Amino acid sequence: MARNISGKKVAILTENGFEQVELTSPLEALKAAGATVHIVSPQTEKVKAWDNDHWGIEVPVDVPLQNAKPEDYDALVIPGGVMNPDFMRANKACVQFAQHFLEQGKPLASICHGPQLLVETGMINGRQMTSYPSIQTDLKNAGAIWSDEEVVVDNGLVTSRSPKDLDAFNRKMLEEIGEGQHDTTGQFTTA
C-alpha cells in the first residue's frame, strides 16, 4: 500500500465488541500510510475487541466521543463485529458523528456489520454498498443498492463484507482518503 496520506487525520469510531482484525488491520494500514489515527468511542478509557468466538484485546480510547469533533477529522472508519454496531446505532451521538462524514462528503469506510450504524443516519438511500450478508436486508430497506462484492466504493463511501476482504478494503480506504472530500450536492434523498 504505497499511498501516502501524511497529514490526514482519521477517526475510528467503535464500541466494545468490535471485530478485532476489522479495527487492527485498517489501523495498521492507516498508520503505515502516514495518517494520524484516533480511536473514538463512547467508552472513555478502553474498548474491548471480539476475536472470532471470544473476547480479544483491549484498545485505548484516544478521544472519548463526548470530546470528539467530527469536523477535526478528514475521514472515518467503522469496524464491524455484531455487538459494536448494534451498540453504536442505539447511541445518538455515534449516529450524529457518522452523519457528519456523509453530509460533508468526507471518506467513510465501514466493514462487515459496521454499515448498520449508517442505516440510522437516514443517508444511505441510493448509495452503492456491501456488508456482511446477514444485514443486506437492513441496508436495502434503508434504500441502499446492495451487492455481494469484496469492496464497493460510492463517492467516498467504502464498504466491505468481512475480514476476508480486508486487503481490498484497506486499499480502497487509503485511496479514498487520499482523494479527500467528495461533492455531496444533490446526493441525498430520503427513503
What residues are labeled active site?
112-113
How many alpha carbons lie under 13 Å from residue 171 in its C-beta half-sphere? 8
In whole angstroms, give the CA distance from residue 7 to residue 103.
22
DSSP structure class, residue 77: E
Of the candidates 145, 140, 78, the residue with the CA atom closest to the CA atom of residue 112: 78
How many alpha carbons lie under 13 Å from residue 183 in its C-beta half-sphere? 2
Q: What is the DSSP string of 124-180?
A: -TT-EE---GGGHHHHHHTT-EE---SEEEETTEEEESSGGGHHHHHHHHHHHHHH-
Burial (CB count within 10 angstroms: exposed 0-12, middle 13-18, buried 19+), residue 95: middle
Residues 126 and 104: beta-carbon distance below 8 Å = no
